[in-house]
Chains A and B, each alone.
Chain A
Amino acid sequence: MARIIVVTSGKGGVGKTTSSAAIGLGLALKGNKVVLIDFDIGLRNLDLIMGCERRVVYDFVNVINGEATLNQALIKDKRVSSLSILPASQTRDKDALNKENVGKVLEDLGKLYDYIICDSPAGIEAGAMMALYYADEAIVTTNPEVSSVRDSDRILGMLASRSRRAELGLDPIKEHLLLTRYSPKRVEEGEMLSVEDVEDILSIPLLGVIPESQAVLKASNAGEPVILDTESDAGKAYQDVVDRLLGETVDFRFLVAEKKGIFSRMFGG
């Protein structure tokens, strides 16, 4: 059975799509068969981050409505052949999805892939509920600031009460905390919540901490998921996240501000 993982947050702009793309590609690079689904119907973004926006012919809603087959809609990644993308529709809205049809699509995909990554839209409305309903695991993406943490808390409540697992009384969704845009320097200056603060409030296991990095914006604009930028801190941190998802124990990096050494001071880092 495929692992269905929803990448969710409640709040918008915290890095759900960036994380979905990086984690999906990372899992595929490790030899897993992965499909990324964009649940943000009407605000399609995942195709841009993945760099396949010019190859979208059919989308998720076409498949739901029976206007296209899964094979027609799935876009194979040009970098890794075991990765596919199911893009969202840009012209429809979130009411185009319903539980039965989404369940059917996920069931079909489950036969073909090891991992199904659902990139959730922001908010707590129908679209986000649809993305998390069938999940086995959830990556709760959170920025280290109070409003993002509170929205994540709200989503955690939804995961525990509104998912299929909750409705059927099965084992609860396995929750992971992914802290993005983390700046150790600003934490030290007291401008940002620390990892400990966020863990204390949300009390779910930490999957990864992605440092604030210029590389992320560059990667998004280029359509190359940041995990491919193996020199960047963010790329390395996403690699750690993938390893942890695959069951490895990896120490957390990038949690303390780098002290500038004499050389970097002299040559400007």
Chain B
Amino acid sequence: MADASIEFKGTSFTLSVLHLKTSDLADIRADLVNKVAQAPDFFYLVPIVVNIEKLDCSIDYQAIKTLIEELNFTFVGFTGSVTKEQRKLIRDLGFSFVNTTKVNTSQKAAIVEEVVTAKTEKIVEAPQSPLYTDKVHRGQIRSGQQVYAKDQNLVIIGSVSAGAEVIADGNIHVYGSLRGRAIAGAQGHHKAQIYCQKLEAELVSINGNYWLSESMEQHWGSPVYIHLTDSELTSSKLI
């Protein structure tokens, strides 16, 4: 195949959209600096789309982009329901224009309002882990058995035998020996952790980072928890 090395696919992402209500750059900067100060880690390098539909045409697009980038956001492009001419102008200036799904004007105001409030609430919550409920399994998990806790933490009251596999989208707790495989944060969750009373696992994995038995020598046979620090698996003694 000619293009075996690459492939284009469409995927939906949730992007933060910054709605501008004024073209006064000094005001925008002051409010943004204020916002970022509340949760600097959360905003760092966050991709931002700027909605300019409330502004008139005479705005300095380049200045807005520069401002956004100075505050350590990643600038993606502009959006909003604007005239064809304005859209063309934005493109001609070398910026990308992100089309949104059409909504009628009466709904639009409400939605914009919602987006803004939702966003302010999110600032407080976002840095925390998602809240998972627990799936509790009583008894030993035998060789050849597999238990998956979808969108949940997995609690096992018993041991996990060699050749068994326990998987959770959240954390995994083993009140017994972990001798099989444990895969936490299976759908991508870098704060997932694995706890066990005795580490003798064949494999542990968090958010796609894994260790085979040979990497566990330090705490082999001990009660430990395993977590990610800067995309590196780390084990720490529980007691």
Contacts and interface: CB of A to CB of B under 8 A. Distances in A.
Nearest to A159: B142
B140 A154 contact: no
A157 B144 contact: yes
Contact of A153 (B139, B143, B158, B177): B143
Interface in B121-147: 139-145
A152 to B, nearest CB: 9
Contacts of A200: 177
B180 to A, nearest CB: 10
B142 A153 contact: yes
A161 B140 CA distance: 12
Interface string A142-155: 00000000110110
B142 A156 contact: yes
A218 B158 CA distance: 42
B159 interface: yes
A106 interface: no
B90 interface: no
B47 interface: no
Given A160-B142, A203-B140, A153 B159 contact: no
A201 B161 contact: yes
A147 to B, nearest CB: 11
Interface residues of B, number: 15
B159 A154 contact: no
B163 interface: yes
A188 B11 CA distance: 61
B154 to A, nearest CB: 17
A156 B179 CA distance: 16
B162 interface: yes
B143 A150 contact: yes
Contacts of A154: 142-144, 163
Nearest to A153: B143
Contact of A157 (B145, B159, B162, B179): B145
Nearest to B177: A200
Contacts of A156: 140, 142
A166 to B, nearest CB: 12
A150 B179 CA distance: 11
Contacts of A150: 143, 161-163
A201 B161 CA distance: 7
A160 B140 CA distance: 10
Contacts of A201: 161-162, 179
B231 to A, nearest CB: 33
Interface in A104-151: 124, 150-151
Contacts of A124: 144
Contacts of B164: 157
B159 A203 contact: yes
A203 B139 CA distance: 10
Contacts of B161: 150, 153, 201
Contacts of A153: 142-144, 161-163
Nearest to B198: A200
Nearest to B141: A157
**Residue among B139, B145, B164 with the highest chain A CB neighbour number at 10 A:** B145
A199 B74 CA distance: 58
A201 B158 CA distance: 11
A150 B145 CA distance: 12
Contacts of A161: 145
Interface in B151-204: 158-159, 161-164, 177, 179
Contacts of B140: 156, 203
Contacts of A160: 139, 142
Nearest to B142: A157
A151 B144 CA distance: 9
Interface of B: 139-145, 158-159, 161-164, 177, 179
Interface of A: 124, 150-151, 153-154, 156-157, 160-161, 200-201, 203
16 contacts: A124-B144, A150-B143, A150-B162, A150-B163, A153-B161, A154-B143, A156-B140, A157-B141, A157-B164, A160-B139, A161-B145, A201-B161, A201-B162, A201-B179, A203-B140, A203-B158
Given A151-B143, A153-B142, A156-B142, 16 more contacts: A124-B144, A150-B162, A150-B163, A153-B144, A153-B161, A153-B162, A153-B163, A154-B142, A154-B163, A157-B142, A157-B164, A160-B139, A161-B145, A201-B162, A203-B140, A203-B159
Interchain residue pairs A-B with the least CB separation, the first 9: A157-B142, A153-B143, A154-B143, A154-B144, A153-B161, A157-B145, A153-B142, A156-B142, A150-B143
